[in-house]
Amino acid sequence: MSGIEAKRVRTRHFFEAKAAGSPISALTSYDALSARIFDEAGIDMLLVGDSAANVVLGRETTLSITVEEMIVFAKAVALAARRALVVVDLPFGSYQTSPEQAVATAVKIMKETGAHAVKVEGGEERTDTIAAIVAAGVPVCGHIGFTPQSEHALGGPVIQGRGSGAEKLARDARAVEAAGAFAVVLEMVPAQIAAEVTREISIATIGIGAGPDTDGQILVWQDAFGLNQGKTARFVRHYASLGDSLFDAARAYADDVSTRNFPAVEESYE
Ligand code: KIV
C-alpha cells in the first residue's frame, strides 16, 4: 500500500514522502479501466506516458505520438483516477522549439484533460522550458538519464550516467530541480549514481531501471503485468501474466463460439 496518506495525491505530497523516506509508487496508464484499478490499488502517480506510442499504438518509438493522441488517453485516465496524481508526457516536438511553445502545449493538455501535471524530457538544456511551464502554474516532472524521445541521438536504449556521464547526470538533476520541477524520473541509470543524485537534490526521484534507492519507482504496466509478451528490459519485474490469461480467455471464447456452446439460454433474451 501507499505511504502517502491523502484523499488526492498532490505534488506537495512528493516532498513530504521524500522527507519521510516513504517510497512513491507510479505506473503508466492510458485508459479509464486500468486507471481506476491502479488508483484503487493505491498507486500514487499515474503517468500517461508517450510510451502509449509503443504499448497501445504498436509503434517502434515514441516520436510520432501527437498532442491530440495524448489528450485522448489523458482525458480517460484523469476522469477515472480519484486519488492518484495524473501526469501527462509532453510528446516529442510539442515543447522543444521554445518555452512559449512548451507553455502553450502544457496549458492545452491541462485544460483539455483534467490532468494535474506534465512531464518533459531533458536536463540542463530544458531549464528555461521547465521554468516557463512552472511559471504558468503547471507542475512539471522532469525526466533524465535515458530519454526515449532522444533515442536516435543517444544511440538507442543505453544506460546513462556511467563514468564521466555521472557528472552530466548530476548537473541535469540539479538543473531540473532549480527550474522548479516537483519530481524527476531517472531512467536507466546505475543504481549507485541514482542513489547519489537522490541524496543530493530536494525533489523526489522516480526510478525506472535506476536501482532501489530512488524516492519512487515507475514501470510501464503492460511490461510489468505481462500484457507485453515481447522482450522486456532487465529492470522490469513481472507481477502477472495478463497476456497468457487473455490468450487463454480468447481461445476458450473462440472454442465456445465454434461449438455453439456460447451463448447459453441464460445468456439470451426471451
Ligand atoms: O512514457 C513513459 O512511459 C515514460 C516512463 C518510461 C517513465 O516516460
Cα separation of 95 and 118, whole Å? 11
The mean of the pLDDT values for the chain is 97
Burial (0-12, 13-18, 19+ Cβ within 10 Å), 30: buried
Dist CA 67 CA 36 (whole Å): 23
pLDDT score recorded for residue 67 = 98
Nearest CA to ligand 1 atom 5: 49
The tally of CA atoms less than 13 A away on the side-chain side of residue 147 is 22
Distance 143 CA to ligand 1 centre (A): 9
Own/partner long-range contacts of 241-245 (Cβ < 8 Å, ≥24 apart): none
- Judged by DSSP in three states, 15 sits in helix
Residues 91-122: tens digit of each pLDDT:
999 999 999 999 999 999 999 999 999 999 99
**pTM, two decimal places:** 0.97
Closest by CA to 92, choosing from 53, 58, 133, 124, is 53
Q: Active-site residue numbers? A: 187
Please name the amino acid found at residue 176.
V
The pLDDT > 70 percentage for the chain reads: 100
Cα-to-chain-centroid distance, residue 232: 16
Residue 4 confidence class, pLDDT cut points 50, 70, 90: confident
For the stretch 206-227, pLDDT in tens is 999 999 999 999 999 999 999 9
pLDDT digits (tens, 9 = 90+) for 127-172: 999 999 999 999 999 999 999 999 999 999 999 999 999 999 999 9
% pLDDT > 90, the chain: 98
Query: Residue 1: is its pLDDT beyond 70?
Result: no
Tell me the CA–centroid distance for residue 121 and ligand 1, in Å.
10
Q: Residues 214, 205: contact at Cβ < 8 Å?
A: yes
